[in-house]
Amino acid sequence: MPCKMQLPTIEELASEFSGKVRIGQLNTDDNHEVAVKYGINAIPTLLLFKGGELVNKFVGLQQKAELKKALEEAVGG
């Protein structure tokens, strides 16, 4: 399952950015309204928010380097 394959990368980034970002998971089967609101049609879909606003969306398996770069840009370094 792609979500389970992405999880180790997400956990590593959560550790690296501890205290700088908040990372969470959402089961779209249990939260259909959220999936509709953000146009989630495939999993994994990773959403990056800053100040409560969606600033980036990643669909499918992602490389750690790309996600790390997006997080660094969001936190300012």
| pLDDT: which is higher, 77 or 62 | 62
Q: Can you identify the CATH homologous superfamily of domain 2-75?
A: Glutaredoxin (3.40.30.10)
What's the pLDDT score for residue 77? 59
Q: How far apart are CA 56 and CA 3, in angstroms?
A: 18
* Euclidean distance between CA atoms 45 and 67, whole angstroms: 12
For range 30-39, the mean pLDDT: 96
Query: Which pTM was predicted?
Result: 0.90
